[in-house]
Amino acid sequence: MPEIHAIPYPSEEHSSKVSDNLDPAWLHAAPLLADDINATFSNLEDLRWLEPIAKERQVVLVGENHYYQRIAHLRNRILFALNTFDSFPLIVLECPYSLTPWLNHYLDIPDDGKAEEYLRTVCQPLLKTADIVDLLRHVRRWNMTGRKPRMQFGLTDLEFDYQTTLDLTIRPFMTRLNPDLARRLTKITLKELKDLLPELRSTVDGATARNMQTEYPFITAVYLQSVVDNLEATCKAMLGEPVDRCFDSEKKR
């Protein structure tokens, strides 16, 4: 059998020796609020230690919350603390890439009632957790007060729920551009999607601005090409194939 080089847990005896050598003076700890960000974005005093960090860094990484509400609340307050102390306008989340402009569109709708309706009917069904919906509301509220910097989202994950991606973003335009292909993109397997990618890419590459005229200005041929790229990467990753040569359309642009 191959060696796995597993490192055993420290023994109880070893752990006790280490803890005996820890000086309590080395540790300075204080509890953090469990509350979400408040209406005035001001419950940040316990995060003042972030101010020098914010001024010295361009990127701050926040670990996974694993669906704990208190951790989601802390993430939100850290986000607004960073943007109070300095400027971190891009919020990168581990969600399907194709949803990026759909979420950012919510931030830009001027009318509050229409924005909430859009969030409820379009965004909420696409998001897996309520904490992201709460974060969207917070960021929109921040932006609408005119505070700086104005924030937006960037999503970086694969299209694991690829059928939703097809139904939301691809099929509505395939119905006009290639009705037969639109029909074949309904309720398909990952392998079937992979086989249809060349035809899908060719159809999208041939789209024009006239084909893209919708109520959503972010739906462009370039955006659809990028979504197809991510669908290809998704197919290869989920089917266990190399993904290093996925983005052919990007190379052509």
Query: What's the rounded Cα separation, in Å, for the pair 186 and 35?
Result: 43
Is residue 252's pLDDT more than 80? no
Is residue 250's pLDDT more than 50? no
> Would you state the pLDDT for residue 11?
82
Query: Which conformational region is residue 171 in: left (phi greater than 0), alpha (psi within -120 to 50 degrees), or beta?
Result: alpha
- Where does the pLDDT of residue 70 fall: very low under 50, low under 70, confident under 90, or very high at 90 and above? very high
- Where does the pLDDT of residue 245 fall: very low under 50, low under 70, confident under 90, or very high at 90 and above? low
Q: If you average pLDDT over every residue of the chain, what do you get?
A: 91
Is residue 242's pLDDT more than 90? no
- Where does the pLDDT of residue 36 fall: very low under 50, low under 70, confident under 90, or very high at 90 and above? very high
> Would you state the pLDDT for residue 37?
98
> Would you state the pLDDT for residue 1?
61
Give the mean pLDDT of 207-226: 86
Range from 15-29, 81-95, 180-194, 239-253 carrying the lowest mean pLDDT: 239-253
Is residue 248's pLDDT more than 60? no
Q: How many CB atoms lie within 10 A of CB 165?
A: 24
Maximal CA-CA distance, the chain: 73
Say which residues have a Cβ less than 8 Å from residue 37's Cβ, sequence separation at least 6.
43, 73, 76, 77, 79, 80, 138
- pLDDT exceeding 90 applies to what percent of the chain? 73
